Chain A
Amino acid sequence: MTSAAIIETRNLSYSYPGGISALSGVNLDIGQGEFVAIIGSNGSGKTTLVKQFNGLLKPSKGRVTVDGMDTRSTRVSELSRIVGFVFQNPDHQIFAYSVWEEAAFGLKLQKLDAESVERQTSEALQAVSLNDLRDRHPRALSRGQRQRLATASILALRTPVLVLDEPTTGQDFLSRRQIMELAVDLHAEGRTVLMVTHDMALAAEYATRVIVMQDGAAVCDASPKEVFGREEILKATGLDLPPAAKIARGLREYGFSDTPLTQAELVENLITAIRG
């Protein structure tokens, strides 16, 4: 699945105005078709990092290229055809007067014909179960629904790369599953998905690669199995094991040797072990 890098960072450093350093010396290759989780404590640089990928922020030092384009010399409108960005707080993104207008806005900017705008917008709203509310004012939606609307307006653009900043924050279990199933489908279609999250279970269950940020640096970059196997990294960065992995680790003293990451894996491993 993974092929050439669609996003590259080389010695990427970034300081916010006033000189506060937020990223230092980050080197990453994100391959086309990867499903990457970016984890780390509040203030570790996760969101600052992904904001470099659509040109919202530009490197203070070093370089970021997206589909071969240097973000410093490329317009945001150009980059946003490649990288769709769903914000953590939907209210920073939503401004239109109806659900449909909000979801269609980006497509209209791209000057697509009316038929394609209608089709892509409806499909995106359907994907997040908001098509029935298309005439509703966004402010009349619940926080969870607004988050899904923000996702739909980016989905409609059909960008090859999708950045989801804390996609499941404030979502109940069903919406969380729905959003993640959507991300899985998009990934299966060959799109690259980058997800910033505090939810370790989410990273363990869905990502093929996990990047751990700490103090503006990528301190660990490996498969979920490997990252969640390195307790010293988790401890040093203030992160947790996914709940199922935590239970499995505690079971070692009972002779349990499997290393499941998800609840389903834990149940399966336990049944085999108990019967064995």
Chain B
Amino acid sequence: MKDSNVVVEELTFFYSGAKEPALSDINLTFQRGEIALLIGATGAGKSTLYMCLNGLIPHLVPGRVGGRVLIEGTATSDQSISALAQKVGFVFQSPDVQLFSHTVREELAFGPENLGLAKSEILRRIQLAATTIGITELLEREPAYLSGGQQQSVAIGAIWAMLPEILILDEPTSNLDPQSSRRVLELIRALNTEHGKTILIAEHKIDAAAHFADSVLVMHEGRIEMQGEPRQVFSQAEELHRMGLVAPTAAEVAFQLSKYGYTFDSWPLTAEEGIQAFGELL
């Protein structure tokens, strides 16, 4: 039997006073332990979708909702924001929006403290988050003076300490250099494969993120326009271009070559796959 911990059915949302829906007819299912990549141009509705998943909609954001969102089998409208906060963790694009404490330790303690947990449990959560994320050596440091990559790791750790089953990350590498980006993406993948968390990640850095998702969701003007395995979605470069999006470089090059009549048994996504596919043509 399928074990889905996120189910979105016929979801439509109008912001208060808006004539056009920000989301229309969204149907989605995430299996437990699935990692999904969300892409879409600015204004496609990604942020509105996040807010529907963590309950800010309908609890805090004024507007009109149609359809429903089930988190761990219960509709978000029937769960409190704080109950949802323990199930759905949200990591912001810029860690400096999220981080405010004097030490990393306090930052990691903040979520568990707000849940009203016992002191021993809070300490356990701090230790667990620091170990899992690999930031134990940073616990006494001040977040403001850490590198961008370290700050993003701390932001993920602070959410991890709440032990959510579902993690949403909004462009977690956008302020990071290539090496730190790779590390953060590797960390996210490890949280998925080693801990079985369900992960929804939005990224513009498609070359770095395309290959590691189980599925890709493409949003455009409030709708899910494409949905499928990465190779299937990214082989449709023309469709993506129409929505102001691009495929990874290897897939884009394959698309250009296909216009000259060259064909590919398996559509390349990564540089390595591109090298092999194009090498065979040479």
Cβ-Cβ contact count across A and B, 8 Å cutoff:
115
Cβ contact of A174, chosen from B147, B244, B279, cutoff 8 A: B244
Query: Chain B contacts of A239 at CB under 8 A?
Result: 177-179
Query: Chain A contacts of B272 at CB under 8 A?
Result: 250
Within 243-264 of B, Cβ neighbours of A (below 8 Å) are at 244-246, 248-250, 252-253, 256-257, 260, 262
Cβ contact of B175, chosen from A169, A171, A246, cutoff 8 A: A169
Mark the stretch among A5-13, A30-38, A137-145, A149-157 that contacts chain B: A137-145
The yes or no answer to A255 lying at the interface (CB within 8 A) is yes
Query: Chain A contacts of B40 at CB under 8 A?
Result: 172
A145–B278 Cα distance when bound, in Å, is 38
Chain B interface size band reads: 35 or more
The yes or no answer to A179 lying at the interface (CB within 8 A) is no
Cβ contact of A271, chosen from B93, B207, B260, B274, cutoff 8 A: B260
Q: Is the interface of A mostly helix, strand, loop or mixed?
A: helix
Known contacts being A244-B253, A271-B257, is A254 close to B262, with CB within 8 Å? no
Cβ contact of B178, chosen from A43, A170, A174, A200, cutoff 8 A: A200
Interface contact A238-B179, CB-CB below 8 Å: yes
Interface contact A175-B42, CB-CB below 8 Å: yes
Nearest chain-B residue to A262 (Cβ)?
B249
A170–B205 Cα distance when bound, in Å, is 9
The yes or no answer to B275 lying at the interface (CB within 8 A) is yes
Interface contact B282-A263, CB-CB below 8 Å: no
Within 41-83 of A, Cβ neighbours of B (below 8 Å) are at 41-43
Minimum Cβ distance to chain A for residue B16 (Å): 13
The yes or no answer to B149 lying at the interface (CB within 8 A) is yes
A83–B181 Cα distance when bound, in Å, is 31
- Binary flags per residue of A76-103, CB closer than 8 Å to B gives 1, else 0: 0000000000001100000000000000
Query: Chain B contacts of A174 at CB under 8 A?
Result: 41, 244
Minimum Cβ distance to chain A for residue B210 (Å): 11
Query: Chain B contacts of A201 at CB under 8 A?
Result: 249
Interface contact A170-B253, CB-CB below 8 Å: no
A24–B272 Cα distance when bound, in Å, is 38
- Binary flags per residue of B55-97, CB closer than 8 Å to A gives 1, else 0: 0000000000000000000000000000000000000011010
Nearest chain-A residue to B39 (Cβ)?
A172
Minimum Cβ distance to chain B for residue A203 (Å): 11
Cβ contact of B149, chosen from A42, A173, A251, cutoff 8 A: A42
Query: Chain A contacts of B176 at CB under 8 A?
Result: 42, 198
Known contacts being A244-B253, A267-B257, is A173 close to B178, with CB within 8 Å? no
Query: Chain B contacts of A238 at CB under 8 A?
Result: 177-179
Query: Chain B contacts of A40 at CB under 8 A?
Result: 177
Interface contact B174-A263, CB-CB below 8 Å: no
- Binary flags per residue of B262-282, CB closer than 8 Å to A gives 1, else 0: 100000000110110011011
Residues of chain B having any CB pair with chain A under 8 Å: 40-43, 93-94, 96, 147-149, 171, 174-181, 204, 207, 244-246, 248-250, 252-253, 256-257, 260, 262, 271-272, 274-275, 278-279, 281-282
Q: A142-B43, A240-B179 are in contact. List 19 more A-B contacts (CB 8 A).
A: A41-B179, A42-B175, A43-B147, A89-B94, A172-B41, A172-B244, A173-B245, A198-B175, A239-B179, A250-B279, A254-B275, A256-B282, A263-B256, A266-B253, A267-B253, A270-B253, A270-B278, A274-B281, A274-B282
Leading 5 A-B pairs by shortest Cβ distance: A250-B275, A243-B249, A254-B279, A238-B179, A240-B178
Q: Pick 7 A–B contacts, CB within 8 A, sort by A.
A: A142-B42, A172-B42, A238-B177, A254-B282, A256-B278, A267-B253, A270-B257
